[in-house]
Amino acid sequence: MSFAIHILEFLAIAFVMTLGAMSAVALGLFVIDRTQTGDAIRRNYPVIGRFRHLFTALGEFFRQYFFAMDREEMPFNRAQRDWVARASGGKGNTIAFGSTRNLNIPGTPIFVNAAFPPLDDQFASTEPLVIGPHAREPYVAPSIFNISGMSYGAISRPAVEALSYGAKEAGIWLNTGEGGLSPYHLKSGCDIVYQIGTAKYGVRDGNGGISDDKLRNVAAHPQVKMFELKIAQGAKPGKGGILPGAKINEEISQIRGIPVGKDSYSPNRHPDISNFDELLDMIGHIREVTGKPVGFKTVAGTPEPFEELFALIRRRGLECAPDFITIDGGEGGTGASPMPLMDLVGMPIREGMLMVEDLRDTYGLRDRIRLIASGKLVNPGDVAWAIATGADFVVSGRGFMFALGCIQALKCNKNTCPTGITTHDPKLQKGLVVEDKRCRVANYAKSVISEVEMIAHSVGVAEPRQMRRRHVRIVQPDGTSRLMSDVYPRSEPLY
Ligand SMILES: Cc1cc2nc3c(=O)[nH]c(=O)nc-3n(C[C@H](O)[C@H](O)[C@H](O)COP(=O)(O)O)c2cc1C
């Protein structure tokens, strides 16, 4: 009995002391909040005002895990992310009961099913396609779906390694992004596209121009199949790359030739390319020095620049043309960019791709310039749409980040990515196990390709590149759908 009374006494004292301590802390916070001048809410509502910050931070997680519907999050909704997660897991990717997709939203593509699709033994796999027939070493690209540029620096060492091994296993290319070529890109032996950004990391001479010797060194790697000049990317057209200082360690500083720990800004355009003549000259020069196909990456805004470029190519001769053009949509992602550029500048890929593809064909350049599409094309339906509009290839960045385990924490611009993908903090990188994630990368790529082929068969053709605009209907504002070939008719060819 007396033991129980002692316990009760102890609990009562502990309770009173806890209350006292809490009141003292609350009083301290009250004084701090009332006297500080930076935060109006905390000054007017001391202590309680602090909960606003807490709930705002927690709200992000509550929305994602409990409240957001399958199709409503941005930039990628749960249905899109879950598809990638299932595909990467390599297990069956079927769902039950019925689609959760709202098919009345204007712009939604719907594929036209064939009355009599090809039989199983009439299916063909996607054929490899030659890029750069005039280069000394043209590239016979095996896959329609590949990995878009994400630099070593923006993403981590294990992320690059897992992408590289996964690319090798799936038979797809890996674009280096603008941060140069690291040993981790090369390790697996996969096909590599070397991207030259405006800072020309890895191939820069002493004056910020291009170094032929360094270009030759990069091209000497047999795995490096093509070079891509980055003119613009969808998340920040007109702005150079930003690599926060927190992400620049000793190794990255050496590969890029920049100081450790200091923010690194690339110029907002190539200082030595200020018009299309100079662009074609630079492309011709890199092709001559390296012997490999050369193209560029940009974002569509209006038709005029493309008309000017294609007309110029016609005047100068087809050989001078870029071997490929990557069109990135304004909805593209990045490690770090100012919000107005991310939100508001650059045509979405669903408009830009149609426009550029139409112009390329109008100027008779279909067989000369390959088109590569990117911008939230992460699920098979998106990729099939792009191929049906006339893209020759599709590349994805964030689709492969999801395969690596990205949870869309939106922290790529800090050094705190919880999944180890966009951080150089060794503790966080431990979560990204290359041996596991390389398989997920390969599984994801293979699933996208096989399901795009499945859509192609369903619309009645033997392989994806035989799909045309007439195989897709686009939902209109009144809820009906029209053939994409009627909504976006082709212009009369000029050549
Ligand atoms: C973390 C991250 C880093 C990126 N780094 C580059 C880069 O170095 N060069 C580039 O051209 N694009 C870069 N991008 C853009 C992607 O290559 C791609 O164009 C864009 O995200 C659209 O594709 P997606 O929607 O499939 O991600 C980056 C994107 C992300 C998310």
d(CA 202, CA 218): 9
| pLDDT exceeds cutoff 80 at 92 | no
| pLDDT exceeds cutoff 80 at 180 | yes
- Yes or no: say if 371 and 359 are a contact pair by the CB < 8 Å rule: no
- Mean pLDDT of the region 437-442: 98
| pLDDT exceeds cutoff 80 at 1 | no
CA of 47 to the centre of ligand 1 (A): 42
| pLDDT exceeds cutoff 90 at 225 | yes
- Mean pLDDT of the region 243-272: 89
Q: What is the pLDDT of residue 241?
A: 78
**Nearest CA, atom 31, ligand 1:** 334
**Which range among 30-44, 118-132, 310-324 shows the weakest confidence by mean pLDDT?**
118-132
Whether this prediction's pTM lies above 0.75 is answered by yes
CA of 175 to the centre of ligand 1 (A): 10
Share of the chain above pLDDT 70, in %: 100
CA distances from 481 to 153, 259, 268, 321, 473 (A): 44, 55, 41, 37, 6
3-state secondary structure of 347: coil
**Nearest CA, atom 29, ligand 1:** 334
Whether 153 lines ligand 1, by a CB cut-off of 6 Å, is no
User: Which of 148, 337, 419 has the most ligand 1 atoms within 8 A of CB, as the residue to mutate?
Assistant: 148
Q: What is the pLDDT of residue 443?
A: 98
Q: What is the pLDDT of residue 173?
A: 98
Q: Which amino acid is at 182?
A: S
Distance from chain centroid for Cα 32? 44
| pLDDT exceeds cutoff 90 at 78 | yes
Atom nearest to 399 CA in ligand 1: 26
CA of 221 to the centre of ligand 1 (A): 24
Distance from chain centroid for Cα 258? 25
Q: Taken in order 313, 317, 322, 326, is the CA torsion positive or negative?
A: positive
Atom nearest to 233 CA in ligand 1: 11
DSSP 97: S
Whether 148 lines ligand 1, by a CB cut-off of 6 Å, is yes
Q: What is the pLDDT of residue 207?
A: 86
